[in-house]
Amino acid sequence: MTPPIDILALSPLPDTLAPSLAGRYATHIGLDDAPRDRVRALVGGGAMQVDAALLARLPALEIVAIHGVGHDGVDQAALAARGIRLAITAGTLTEDVADLAIGLWLAVERRIVANDRAVRGGGWDVPLARRATGRRIGIFGLGAIGRAIAARAAPFAADLIYTARSPKDVPWRFVADLTTLAAESDVLFLAAAAGRETHHAVDAAVLAALGRQGVLVNVARGALVDQDALIAALAEGRIAGAGLDVFADEPTVPAALHRDDVVLSPHQGSATVAARSAMAAMVVANLDAHFAGDRPPGLID
């Protein structure tokens, strides 16, 4: 009988994924207890860090399978140098992340969280909220998630504009740079991938362009935003509010963001039963396809 293939997770796997892997692979949690010379797959979430030093400790590694779509912590050049594949769970969480983005935005505009807190504390008289319909909506990054956000936001929008690497075949208006996008938006959604090009892309200048009536919504990565600049802009009233699912140093969230004009979420974009089940199934499908000699459905070329 052929022994099961050894796979490694650097941290505990979610309950939706662990049982599926346990039945088909020899799963090891943590590098110290793994048979490093036999590990052929590395499995982890979108925040997993994979660099050349780690790869050097795993001489038999063939594939990195991400439980998510973010892979900014993976050194793809180092993988390519070894011929190691990278696969993600593409398409499994798009709708849920887009739903949360709209929910965060509406919660900020209509003060839903702050009003809930007021009522639970025995209050009733609260400040007026802001109308969502008729706002100018900008989206930074028009991949699958950006497009899904745009489709949901379009019925609200007086104008819907976006910034991406290049114009897309979509009915929305393209703007070439982020600062211009912010200046022409009342609401700025962030849906771009993290990386060197987008690190702190939303800085003090972009926030100033967004302006006092502007709202920032981030469901991408905390690294896209200069968090100190955001805190200063909120404290000084230079933007109207923010809806944040991601942060610079998760799970740490600065107390300065605990404000009525900010709605906070603990990186829950994909956290639905449907999405997590689909993500787990695709991790397994990626591994099964690879070890069967086929192309994984979520392969990143």
What pLDDT is recorded for position 82? 97
pLDDT at 211 over 90: yes
Nearest to 140 by CA among 66, 209, 54: 209
- Which pLDDT band holds residue 24 (cuts at 50, 70, 90)? very high
Q: What is the pLDDT of residue 23?
A: 82
Please confirm whether the linkage preceding 251 is cis (ω < 30° from 0).
Answer: yes
Other Cβ atoms within 10 Å of 220 Cβ, number: 29
pLDDT at 236 over 80: yes
Q: Could you give the percent of the chain with pLDDT greater than 90?
A: 96
What is the pLDDT at residue 8? 97
User: Where exactly are the structural domains of the chain?
Assistant: 6-92+273-291, 94-264
Read off the pLDDT band of 33 (50, 70, 90).
confident
**Would the pLDDT of 35 be above 80?**
yes
Assess whether the region 6-92+273-291 and the region 94-264 belong to the same CATH fold: yes
pTM of the predicted model, to two decimals? 0.95
Question: Given this model, what pLDDT does residue 74 score?
Answer: 96
Query: What is the DSSP annotation of 2-37?
Result: PPPPEEEESSPPPTTTHHHHHTTSEEEESGGGS-TT
Q: Which residues are catalytic?
A: 221, 250, 267
CATH of 94-264, one of 3.40.50.720, 3.90.75.20, 3.40.50.2300, 3.30.750.210: 3.40.50.720
On average, the pLDDT of the chain sits at 96
Question: Looking at the predicted structure, is the pLDDT value of residue 249 above 80?
Answer: yes
Which of the four CATH numbers 3.40.50.10860, 3.40.50.460, 3.30.1330.10, 3.40.50.720 does domain 6-92+273-291 have?
Answer: 3.40.50.720
Over residues 9-20, the pLDDT tens digits come to 998 999 999 999
Residue 1's pLDDT band (boundaries 50, 70, 90)? low
Q: What is the pLDDT of residues 91-146, one digit of tens each?
A: 999 999 999 999 999 999 999 999 999 999 999 999 999 999 999 999 999 999 99
E-only strand ranges, the chain: 6-9, 26-29, 41-45, 63-67, 85-87, 135-140, 157-163, 173-174, 187-190, 215-218, 241-244, 262-264
Average pLDDT over residues 221-236: 98
